């Protein structure tokens, strides 16, 4: 006669043992699990009439799965399994994927699944590297989403966004760093180099959005500056060429240019064509122009203003927006404000 | 405090070191299956604290060639994995036995003389 909860009790124990041994080489793990299962079966045969309490005594005498695992690790000189492509992808999914796809933590969850399956991390490392951050992160996400939906006011929206950033960016990034450090030198240098290159490719555009934008403008032709002093009654017509340059000075640079055709005669500036705003995105930054306007002032000068933003191609959450304006006075001078 | 912890650690180390020769000694009399072997060890007070830790030890002895395993039919259930000592294991046990006897009497002698 089997004890009432025989299956639950024994399966539960063997499952815990299996998870403790998860970082062992398969052959060692299978052998140890078979030995323990046989031990339990043999011990049960000796019982005249087994009860749940008897089974618990058998398991109690066997010891906690983590004790058995620790002993096996020591006496069999077990190193955790050698990390390979699965671990590399896991680190990339968690550390980089969350920046690439920030709206839903899909990459993070996928990466966590890979970590969970991997034998390169110990159960303890998996707890701190998968369970804990996922639960906390998803909780923060849920609360942020709820707060936004319920209140939607400006300040609360910012709080919600902060929660979003913490949950979707900082938590996975921290997790990936922790898991990576735990792997350390077990991962070949070449693999680390590949991870570093991909991480830089993704994070560099994000970092580029923190570089202040620069603005410049001149009057002339597309080829260069060519301002002329007008004679009253004889207007001069040229082009105005302004630009807002994001991450200027870097190969990652991208610009939001504006060009307007203008004529001025010393008393007033008039527009002949434009404004033309054709943003040029760089390899790392995407530029969007929100507004691009030209407006005549009562004193005869012309106001040109451009509102634009640059977003990291690899990290949609990283964006910089800039408003830039120029005043062209009736005598053909450009002032930036 | 630290000294006491050191001492428990040392006892655990000594137990672990001696345990494998106790296993070999039991297997030297006759082959035994896992549960039986564990029972026999557990009968001696202070030798085994958690029975499950015997199995990693058996695996290591097998890997080192001091113990062999084979399967035998059981009259009351599925076949059992039996452990038996190899000539290498017998030699290891013999070496330990003489070392241990010398060590034990040396320690005993000193402990007794200082009483």
* Domains in chain B: boundaries: 2-113
Is the predicted pLDDT of residue A1 greater than 70, yes or no?
no
Q: What distance in Å separates residue A75's CA from the closest CA in chain B?
A: 6
Whole-angstrom distance, CA of residue A68 vs CA of residue A17: 8
Note the pLDDT tens digit of each residue in A102-115. Answer: 777 888 889 999 99
Note the pLDDT tens digit of each residue in B12-40. Answer: 788 888 889 999 999 999 999 999 999 88
Q: Do A63 and B78 touch (CB under 8 A)?
A: no
Is the predicted pLDDT of residue B2 greater than 60, yes or no?
no
Q: Is A159 helix (H, G, I), strand (E, B) or coil?
A: helix
CB B26 within 8 A of CB B39: no
Chain B residues lying within 8 Å of A57, measured CB to CB: none
In the β-sheet with A319-328, what is the strand arrangement from edge to edge? Answer: A285-296, A302-312, A319-328, A334-336
E strand or H helix at A255, and its extent? strand A254-264
Q: Is A286 helix (H, G, I), strand (E, B) or coil?
A: strand
Q: Is residue A112 classed exposed, middle or buried when 0-12, 13-18 and 19+ CB atoms within 10 A define those classes?
A: buried
Instruction: Let me know how many helices (H) and strands (E) chain A has, helices first.
Output: 12, 9
Note the pLDDT tens digit of each residue in A220-251. Answer: 877 777 766 656 667 788 888 888 888 877 77
Question: Would you state the pLDDT for residue A337?
Answer: 80
Whole-angstrom distance, CA of residue A24 vs CA of residue A78: 7
Listed range (A105-109, A160-164, A279-283, A294-298) with the worst mean pLDDT: A160-164
* Residue A193 pLDDT level (bands cut at 50, 70, 90): very high
Q: Where are the alpha helices (DSSP H) in chain A?
A: 6-20, 26-45, 52-62, 65-75, 85-92, 98-100, 106-117, 123-126, 132-150, 154-165, 171-183, 189-208
pTM comes to: 0.56
Question: Would you state the pLDDT for residue B115?
Answer: 72
Please report the ipTM that was assigned to this predicted complex: 0.86
Average pLDDT score over residue span A89-106: 84
Give strand pairing partners of A218: A241
CB B58 within 8 A of CB B23: yes
CB B68 within 8 A of CB B84: yes
* Residue A155 pLDDT level (bands cut at 50, 70, 90): low
Q: Do A36 and B49 touch (CB under 8 A)?
A: no
Whole-angstrom distance, CA of residue A310 vs CA of residue B29: 81
**What is the CATH number assigned to the segment(s) B2-113?**
1.10.10.10
Q: How many CB atoms lie within 10 A of CB B82?
A: 18
Q: Is A248 helix (H, G, I), strand (E, B) or coil?
A: coil
Instruction: Suggest the residue from A10, A21, A26, A61 to mutate for an interface test with chain B (most B CBs closer than 10 A).
Output: A61
Q: What is the CA radius of gyration of chain B?
A: 17
Question: Would you state the pLDDT for residue A151?
Answer: 66
Q: What distance in Å separates residue B43's CA from the closest CA in chain A?
A: 12
Question: Would you state the pLDDT for residue B47?
Answer: 75
Average pLDDT score over residue span A86-98: 88
Whole-angstrom distance, CA of residue A23 vs CA of residue A157: 43
Instruction: Let me know how many helices (H) and strands (E) chain B has, helices first.
Output: 4, 3
Question: Would you state the pLDDT for residue A318?
Answer: 85
Question: Would you state the pLDDT for residue B91?
Answer: 96
* Residue A152 pLDDT level (bands cut at 50, 70, 90): low
Q: Is A329 helix (H, G, I), strand (E, B) or coil?
A: coil
Question: Would you state the pLDDT for residue B3?
Answer: 67
Chain A residues lying within 8 Å of B60, measured CB to CB: 75-76
Note the pLDDT tens digit of each residue in B54-108. Answer: 999 999 999 999 999 999 988 877 889 999 999 999 999 999 999 999 999 999 9
Note the pLDDT tens digit of each residue in A25-82. Answer: 778 888 999 999 999 998 988 888 888 899 999 999 999 998 898 888 888 777 667 7
Q: Is A79 helix (H, G, I), strand (E, B) or coil?
A: coil
């Amino acid at each position: 006669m089997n004890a009432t909860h025989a299956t639950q009790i024994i399966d539960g124990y063997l499952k815990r043992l299996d998870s403790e041994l998860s970082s062992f080489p398969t052959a060692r793990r299978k052998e140890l699990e078979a030995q323990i299962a046989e031990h339990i079966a043999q011990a049960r045969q000796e019982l005249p009439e087994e009860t749940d309490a008897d089974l618990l005594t058998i398991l109690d005498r066997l010891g906690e799965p983590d004790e058995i695992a620790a002993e096996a690790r020591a006496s069999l000189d077990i190193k955790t399994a050698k990390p390979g492509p699965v671990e590399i992808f896991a680190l990339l999914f968690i550390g980089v994927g969350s920046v690439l796809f920030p709206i839903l933590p899909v990459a993070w969850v996928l990466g966590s699944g890979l970590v969970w399956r991997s034998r390169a991390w110990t159960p303890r490392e998996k707890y701190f590297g998968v369970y804990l951050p996922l639960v906390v992160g998803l909780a923060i996400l849920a609360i942020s989403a709820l707060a936004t939906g319920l209140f939607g006011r400006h300040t609360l929206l910012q709080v919600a966004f902060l929660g979003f950033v913490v949950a979707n960016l900082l938590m996975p990034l921290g997790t990936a760093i922790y898991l990576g450090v735990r792997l350390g030198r077990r991962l070949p240098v070449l693999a680390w180099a590949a991870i570093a290159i991909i991480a830089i490719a993704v994070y560099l555009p994000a970092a580029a959005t923190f570089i202040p934008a620069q603005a410049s403008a001149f009057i002339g032709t597309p080829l260069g500056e060519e301002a002329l002093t007008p004679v009253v009654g004889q207007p001069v017509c040229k082009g105005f060429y302004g630009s807002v340059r994001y991450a200027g000075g870097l190969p990652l640079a991208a610009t939001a240019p504006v060009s307007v055709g203008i004529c001025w005669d010393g008393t007033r500036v008039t527009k002949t064509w434009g404004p033309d705003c054709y943003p040029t995105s760089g390899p790392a930054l995407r530029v969007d122009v929100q507004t691009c306007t030209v407006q005549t002032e009562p004193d005869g000068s012309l106001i040109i203003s451009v509102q634009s933003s640059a977003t990291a191609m690899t990290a949609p959450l990283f964006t910089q927006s800039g408003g830039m304006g120029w005043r062209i006075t009736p005598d053909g001078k450009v002032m930036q404000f | 405090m630290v000294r006491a912890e050191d001492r428990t650690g040392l006892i655990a180390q000594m137990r672990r070191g001696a345990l494998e020769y106790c296993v070999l000694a039991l297997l030297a009399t006759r082959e035994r299956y896992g549960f039986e072997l564990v029972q026999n060890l557990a009968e001696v007070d202070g030798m085994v604290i958690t029975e499950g830790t015997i199995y990693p030890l058996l695996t290591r002895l097998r890997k080192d060639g001091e113990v062999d395993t084979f399967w035998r039919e059981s009259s009351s259930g599925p076949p059992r994995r039996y452990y038996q000592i190899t000539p290498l294991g017998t030699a290891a046990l013999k070496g330990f036995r003489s070392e241990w006897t010398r060590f034990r009497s040396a320690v005993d002698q000193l402990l007794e003389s200082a009483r």
